Structure 1
Amino acid sequence: MDIGGAPLAAFKLMVCLALPGWVLLSRLSSVDRAARLVWTLTASAALYTTLALAMAWTGFWYPRQVAAAVVLAAVGFIVLKPGPYLPGTFVRGAARGGPALTATGGRGLQRRSRIRAVLPWLTLAVAAPLWVFGLATTGHGRLGDFGLLSEFPLAWYIAVGLVVGTCVYAVVARKTFPTLLMSVSVSSLVVVLYSTAGLLAEVPRFPWTYKHIAVTNFITATGNVDPSIDIYNRWPGFFALSAYLGEVMGYRNALDYAAWAETGFALVDAVLVLAIVRTISNRARIYWTATIVFTLANWVNQNYYAPQSYSYSLYLAMCLIALTFLRGVPFKWMAGFEMRIRRSRIVQRVKQRHPVIMPSIWERRGTPRQLLACVAILIIQAVIVVSHQLTPYLAVLGLFPLFMSGYFRPRWMAPALLAIPLAYFIPNLAYVKGKYGLFSGFNLFANTGYRPPRTDPLVVGGWVLTGQSLAHLAVVLTLATGVLAVAGFVRRLLHGHVRTTLVVAWLAFAPALGLLAQSYGGEARFRVFLFALPWLSIGVAWLFWSGPVRTGRTVIGASAGLAAMAMLFTVVHFQPEADYRVPRDDVVASQWLDANTKAGDIVFDTKYFFPLLVGSNYPHYLKWGSVSSLVDYFREADGNISVEGLRAYADHLRGAENNYVIITDEQKLQAVEKKRFEAEYLPELEGMLENGVGVENVFSNDTVRIYKFKSAG
C-alpha cells in the first residue's frame, strides 16, 4: 500500500529489516545478542539486495509488492513454525545479582551503591537536553576555516564532555556498568558525535554524496540499471537496495533519507565491533573499550550515503561470522611459529611475573553450522562484490591468509572468496582499465600522500592556529591509535595470548598491502585506516586491560587516552565542515536543472562542488561537453568577457541548442577565498547576462541564478 509519512516509513523500514533476518536466524538460540542484532540486519539486507538486483537487471521493478510478499512469508513462517526466537542472557557468563552485603555497614554500602547506579543515568539525562539546546543555538551562518568548532555554544561542548566522561568512567570504574547502561552510554556517544553535523545541515552533507543520490533516483525512475552510463551502474548493489527500500518506505527521492545514513551506519558498525570483540574476549572492559576507541578514532567520514559504507558493514559482518563459527587450530607450520613465540625468553619472563588468569578463548571446535556459515560468508561477499569495487579485495587480503593457514576452516573458503570478485571483475576489466586504470603505481608513499588545505591563521591565547594545523591532528589521531594498538599487541603476546593476537594483528595490518598497487583516487589511505580500525581498537583495549588485575596506572592511562581521542576526534571531525556543507539553495537549483534540461544541453559552472548530479536525468551530464567550466572560458577569453564570446565558446564546444549558466554566491566567495580564478570575473559576467540579448533568467532563489541562452546557429 502506497501510504507515506515519516513515522510509517520508519515502521516499514524496521519491519522489512527485522522479519526476514529474524526468521533466518531463528534456530541460532545460543548466539550473542549483539551478533544476533547485526546478523538480522545483514541477512535482511543481503536478501533485499539480491531481490533488488534481480529486478533492476531484468527491468521487472515492483519493490512494494515484493517487499509485501517477503514480509508476509516471514510472518507466516513465525506463526506456523514457532521456534526459539528470543536469545538468552546478553552478557555471557554474567552472574546474577552481586556479592552479599554484610550486616556491618550494609546500609551505607547500599546507599553508595544506589548513588553509583543512578549517577550515570542522571548525567546522561542532563547531557541530552544540553545537546539539543546546543544544536538549537549553534550559529547558522556561513562556516569558516574552523568549521563548526567556532559555531558550537558552550552547552554543546558540555553535553559531549558529559557523554564522553560517562563512557570513560564506565570502563575504568572498579565495577563496570550494567550492560543496559553501557549500551545507552555508547549509543549516546555515537549519536552525539555522528549526527550533530547532519542535523545542523539543511540537506545531506558532502558534495560527492549527490552522485549516489542521482544513481539511486535513476534506478527508482527507470526500474533498471544501464551499464553503459557509468561505473555505478556496473556495481549497482547498494543503489538497487536503496531504491528498493526507499520506494517501500514511500520515498521515491533518495534526497529525503540520505542524510540519516551517517548515523545509521555508525551505530551498526559500533555494534558489529562490539560483537566481534565479544567473540574473542569475555571481559567487559575489553569489548566496551574497543567499541569506544573505534567510535572516537573513526575520523575519516566514511559513514555517509555511499556503497563503501554499506560494503564496510557487510565486511565486518562477514568477519563476525568467521570468528564465531569457523575458528580452527592452525596447521603445523603456523603452530610451530606460535610455539617459538611462546617459548621465547621474554615471554617466559613476563608469564612468570604475571601468570595468565584469563586464558585465550580462540580455540573453538568445528560446529554443525560450519557449512551454513560458509554459505553466509560467500553470499555476503557476493553482495559486497556487486556493490563496491575495493572492499572485496581488502576483505580477501585479510581473510585469505587466515583460511590458508588454518585459523579459519575450511581452507577452500580462501580461493572461493577470491574467485567471486574476480569472476565479476573480468567482464568489466576493459571498462575499468580504459576509464581508470588498474594500478596507480607500486609507490607506497605516493599512494598515501596527503596535503591539508591552506587556511588563514587564528591566534588563540598566544598560539597561532590554522585549519591546516588542525587538519594535521587527523594524522596525530591515526598514529596515536596505531602506536597504542601495536603496544597492545605486544603486551598481549607477552602475556601468552599468541593465537588471538596474531589473527587480530594481521587483520589490522593486511589493508595496508592495498597501498602497494592502488591509490583509489587519493582515498586509499582513508580506506586502509578504516579497515584496520576495528582491529586496532582491539589492540588499544588490550594495552589497557590485558593485565590480570585493574591497577591505578591502567585507569589513568585508559582515561587519559580515551579523553585525548575524544578531543582529537571532535576537532578533526567538525573542523572541515565548511568543505563538506552543501547549501540548500544549490540543491534546489540542481533539481530544477535535472527536471528542465535535455540531453545535449550544455551547463556552465565553475566546477566548485555544485551538486549538479542529483536526479534521475543525471546521465545527460555525463556525455562529453555537457558540463563545462566557466574557469576554462575565462582563461580562453583572457579578460575579454562578453555574452557573444561565451555563446561562441559554447558553439565551439558542441553547438548545443540550449546553454545554461549557473551563478551562485558560493562560487563568488570561493573565487575570493580559494583564489580559484579572478574574483571580478563572475560578477562581471553575471552583469552582462542580466542585460544580454537573447539571455533569459530561468531560475532564481536567494543565492543561485541560472541563465539560459540559445546557440548562435
Structure 2
Amino acid sequence: MPGLDSLPQVIPRREDAGTGTYGAAAVEGLGRSTEPWWRAGPRRNGALLAAVLVGLVGWAVSLRGIDVDRLGSYGLLAALPALWFVALGVLAIAAVVALSAVRPSGPLLACVGIALVIVLYATIPAVTDLPQYAYVYKHIGVTRFIEAHHGVDRSVDLYHRWPGFFALAAFFGEVAGRPDPVTFAAWAEPFFAVVDLFLVAALARTVLGGTRVPWLAAYLFTAGNWIGQNYFAPQAISFTLALAIYVIVAGQLTRGPGSPGSPGGRGSGRRMRLLRRVLGSAVDDPGPPRTATWPAGATIAAILVLTTAVVVSHQLTPYLIVLTVGVLTALGVVRPRWLVAAMAVISVAYLVPNVAYIRDHFGLFSGADAVANATNSGVYVELHKSAGKILYARAGLALFGGTWLAAVVSVVVLLRRRATRGVLLCSGAVIGTGLVLFLQTYGGEGRLRVFLFSLPWCAILIAAALLREDSPPRPLRAAVTLGALVTYLGLWLCAFYIPFDANHMTRGDVASAAWLYDHGDPRIPVMLGDTDWPGDYSPRYAEFARTPKPSYALLEDPVFRGNALGRAPATETAGVISTMGRYGPRGYLVLSQSQVAFAHSYGLAPDGTIARIGREIQADRHFTVVYRNPDATIYLFTRDAAEAH
C-alpha cells in the first residue's frame, strides 16, 4: 500500500473553495488553470504581488546606502545595507509561498523570479553605472571597432574570427543611437539573467510539465549561477542560445524511451533492455503530455539556425551543445540521430579555417586527462588570502559540490517516484556537458563552464525532488524548500559580491584607457601594474594589438617579483626598468586604483606596493608622467641608447 506522501493532495484550501471540483482531471491540469491568474485565489495572489512590490521598493531605497568607493576584503557584500537583505528575504519567502499554492500562478511566479533577478543582478549596475570586469572593455573595444570600420579584421585577434556577438552589439548600439557600448553594457547581466530565468523554466516544463517545479528550478538556477557569465560577452548570448536549443530539443524531439510511438523504441531493443535492467519498469515513463508539436522541418531548421549563431559567436559553447545532444541521442532519447551529426558538421566546418590560429596562439587540445583539466585553475599563485577571499572561494566550492551532490540525491528520489524520463534527460545532459573536460581546460575555465552548462539540468532535478507538481507542499517540505533557496542565495552573495572590489572599474580607469588609445603611440608596448585595467577599450585598440605585448603585468612577472619587489627603492626601480626594457627602448606603464584593489584581493603584493612604485619611478629620469587623473597615472618609459647596449 503506498504511503500517504505519495498520494495526490487535492483537497482545496479554504480560500479556493467553490472554484471547482478537484478530481483526476483537475489534478492533471494543476498549474494550467483556464481562469485568469488574478481570479484564482485572489487574496493570496494579491498579497504576494504586494509583497513583491514591497521587496522591490525596499531594494530601490536601499541602493542609496551603498558606497562602492570604500570596499574592504568582503567587497560589496559588506557594503549592502540591512534593508537590502530584508528586501531579498521578502522575495524569497514570497517565492516559496507562491510555489505552495494549490494551483500556483505562472504569471505570479514569473513576477517573483524577475524581482529576484533585479535584486541580485541589477544592484551593481544601479550603483556603479559602469560595467564591472576589466575584460568587458576588451569586448567593448571590439564592438566599437566594428562600428567604426563596419567590418572585422581577422588578423587582429581571436574575437574578429568569432564576431557574432560583437556584430549584434554594434548593430544594437547603432539602432539605439548609443555607439559606445559602455552606456548599456553594464545592464547585460540583469538582461541575460531574466531571459535565462524564463528559458530554464521553459526547459523544466518541457522535461517534467507543470508550473510549480519549473519555476522552482528557475529560481535555483538564478541563485546558483555565480560564475559571472551574464556580462557583456559572447559567452552570455551563446549560453542563452544553448538554453533555447535545449528547450526545443527536449520539447519537440524527445519521448520517453520505449513509450508508444517513441523514436527511441525503434531499433533500440538491446539498449532498452539495458535501461530496464538498470532503472526498472519505470523506464516506460512517457513524461508530460505534449500540448503542441512543431513541424519536423521547422524544428530542425530552428535548431540548426541557433547552432550556427552560437558557432559564429563563441569557441567552446558549440561543442558543449553537441556533446549534450550527442549523449541524449546515444541514449535513444533524441531523434533523429543525424541531427547531432549536422550540428557537429556546422561547428567543425567553422573551426577548420581557424585551426591554425587556435593551435598557434592557444593550443587546440589540452589533453584527455579530465581530472587535470578540471583542477587547472589557470591563474597565478596567490601570495596571501584575506578572510573575505577565503569565504568567496569556499562559497564557490560549496555551490559546485553542493549542487552536484544534491543532483545525485535527487536522481535517487525521482527514480523511486518513477520519474525516469526527467532523470534520463537531465542526467544525460549533465554527463554530456562534463565530457568537454576530456578535451580542453579552456584556460583554466573549463570546470566553470561545465558547472554553468550543467546547472539548469541539476536545478531541474533538485526542484523536482523538493516539490511535487500534483500537490502543494506540506509545511515541513515548504520550509525545506525555503531553506534550500536561502542557502543558494547566501552562497551566491558570497561568491558573486565579495570579489566586486577587484572587479570594480571607476570612471578614472575608463578615462585613462580612453586617453591612451586615443592619444598614445601604438608602436609602444603597454605594461600594466597588474591585469585589472580596462585595456583595449578604444576602436584604435587594433593598432596597439599589432605591437608585441609584455608577457606579464608588472606584479605578475616572476623575474621582477623574485628579484626586486620589496627591496630598497633603488633596487626596486632598477627591477621595473629592467622588466620594461626587455620589451623595447620605450613603453607605457599604467598604474591605477583598480589595480591596487586587484592586487590586494588576489594577493599579488603587499598593500601599498603599487603606490610606492609610482612614487619611486616618478622620481627616476627614465619615467615621465604623460597622463594623470585621481584614479590612474600613465608613465612613459624611455631608455637611453647607451643603456640599450
TM-score by length of 2: 0.83
Query: Residues 327 and 362 of structure 1 are in contact (CA less than 8 Å); yes or no, is this contact kept in structure 2?
Result: no
Q: Which runs of 5+ in 1 are unaligned?
A: 1-89, 101-109, 458-464
Contact 1:585 1:704 in 2 (8 A): yes
Which of 431, 444, 464 does residue 542 from structure 1 map onto? Answer: 464
How far off is 1:389 after superposition?
0.6
Percent identity, aligned pairs only, is: 30
Paired position in structure 2 for 1:160: 88
CA distance, structure 2, for counterparts of residue 707 and residue 261 of structure 1: 33
SS of the residue 2:588 aligns to? strand
- Partners of 1:276 and 1:320 within 8 A in 2: yes
1:529 maps to which residue? 451
- 1:272 CA displacement: 0.7
How much does 1:252 deviate?
Answer: 1.4
How much has 1:551 moved relative to structure 2?
Answer: 4.9
Change (3 A) 1:335 1:249: farther
C-alpha separation between the residues in 1 aligned to 2:376 and 2:579? 36
Q: Distance in 2 between matches of 1:288 and 1:694?
A: 62
Change (3 A) 1:496 1:335: farther
**Residue 419 (structure 2) aligned to one of 474, 490, 497:** 497
- Which residue in 1 is equivalent to 2:584? 654
Deviations for 1:382-415, whole angstroms, at most 9, x for unmatched residues? Answer: 1111110100000010112333554333222121
User: Residues of 2 paired with 1:671 and 1:629: CA distance?
Assistant: 11
Match of 1:429 in 2: 355
Evaluate the alpha carbon distance shift between residue 138 and residue 672 of structure 1 in structure 2; reply closer, same or farther with a 3 A threshold. Answer: closer
- Residue 141 of structure 1 and its aligned partner are, at CA, apart by 2.8
- Relative to 1, partners in 2 of residues 1:496 and 1:650: Cα closer, same or farther, differing over 3 Å? closer
Query: 51, 59, 62: which one pairs with 1:134?
Result: 62
Give the structure 1 partner of residue 33 of structure 2.
94
Runs of at least 5 residues in structure 2 that lack an aligned partner in the other structure: 1-28, 256-261
How is 1:442-591 mapped onto 2 (pairs within 5 angstroms)? Answer: 442-449=368-375, 466-546=388-468, 549-552=471-474, 553-591=476-514
Q: Any residues of structure 2 matched to 1:234-633 within 5 Å, and which? A: 234-328=161-255, 329=262, 330-332=264-266, 334=268, 337-338=271-272, 360-361=286-287, 369-449=295-375, 466-546=388-468, 549-552=471-474, 553-623=476-546, 625-627=548-550, 629-631=553-555
- Please report how far the alpha carbon of residue 530 of structure 1 lies from its aligned counterpart in structure 2 after TM superposition: 0.8
Residue 621 (structure 1) shift: 3.4
Q: Secondary structure at the match of 2:122?
A: helix
| Residues 1:317 and 1:594: Cα distance change in structure 2 (over 3 Å) | same
RMSD between aligned residues: 3.3
- How big is each residue's C-alpha offset from its partner over 1:30-79, in whole Å with a ceiling of 9 and x where there is no partner? xxxxxxxxxxxxxxxxxxxxxxxxxxxxxxxxxxxxxxxxxxxxxxxxxx
Contact 2:504 2:594 (C-alpha < 8 Å) held by counterparts: no
SS at match of 2:627: strand
Shift of 1:454: 7.2
Distance 2:369 2:131 in 1: 35
* Alpha-carbon distance in 1 for matches of 2:459, 2:402: 11
8 Å contact kept, 2:530–2:599: no
Matching residue's letter, 1:96: E
Question: Could you tell me whether the CA contact under 8 Å between 1:212 and 1:239 is conserved in 2?
Answer: yes
Question: Aligned residue for 1:698?
Answer: 626
Distance in 2, Cα, partners of 1:247 & 1:263? 21
Counterpart selection for 1:197 from 124, 130, 137: 124
Q: What is the CA deviation profile of residues 91-131 of structure 1, one whole-angstrom value per residue up to 9, with x for unaligned ones?
A: 98423279x9xxxxxxxxx9xx6542332122122212211
Distance of 1:190 and 1:274 partners within structure 2: 14
Q: CA deviation at 1:550?
A: 4.1
Contact persistence 1:296–1:569 (CA under 8 A): yes
Distance 1:91 1:274, change over 3 A: farther
Q: Is the CA contact 1:205–1:582 (under 8 Å) kept in the aligned structure 2?
A: yes
Q: Structure 2: how far apart are the matches of 1:365 and 1:117?
A: 26
Q: In structure 1, how many angstroms separate the alpha carbons of the residues matched to 2:275 and 2:573? A: 76
Q: What SS class does the counterpart of residue 708 from structure 1 fall into?
A: strand
* Native 8 Å contact 2:134 2:534 kept in 1: yes
In structure 2, the CA distance between the partners of 1:403 and 1:685, relative to structure 1 (3 Å rule), is closer
Contact 1:331 1:405 in 2 (8 A): no
Partner amino acid for 1:525? R
State whether residues 31 and 212 of structure 2, in contact with CA within 8 Å, keep that contact through their aligned partners in structure 1: no
Q: Cα gap change, 1:365/1:343 in structure 2, threshold over 3 Å: closer, same or farther?
A: farther
Return closer, same or farther for 1:576/1:550 CA change in 2, 3 Å cut-off: same
> TM-score of the superposition, structure 1-length normalised?
0.76
Asked whether the 8 Å contact 2:383–2:604 carries over to 1, the reply is: no
**Separation (CA, whole Å) in 2 of partners of 1:97 and 1:671:** 55
Q: Distance in 2 between matches of 1:677 and 1:500?
A: 50
Within 2, Cα distance between the matches of 1:518 and 1:214? 27
Equivalent residues in 2 for 1:660-675, closer than 5 Å = 660-667=588-595
Residues 146 and 411 (structure 1 numbering): CA distance in 2 closer, same or farther, change over 3 Å?
same
Separation of aligned partners in 2, 1:246 and 1:453: 39
Distance 2:354 2:144 in 1: 23
| Structure 1 partner of 2:158 | 231
Measured in 2, the distance between the counterparts of 1:567 and 1:369 equals 44
Pair 1:454–1:337, CA change in 2 (3 A): farther
- SS of the equivalent of 1:148 reads helix
Q: Which amino acid aligns with 2:530?
A: K
- 1:617: Cα distance to partner? 1.6
Aligned pairs, how many? 594
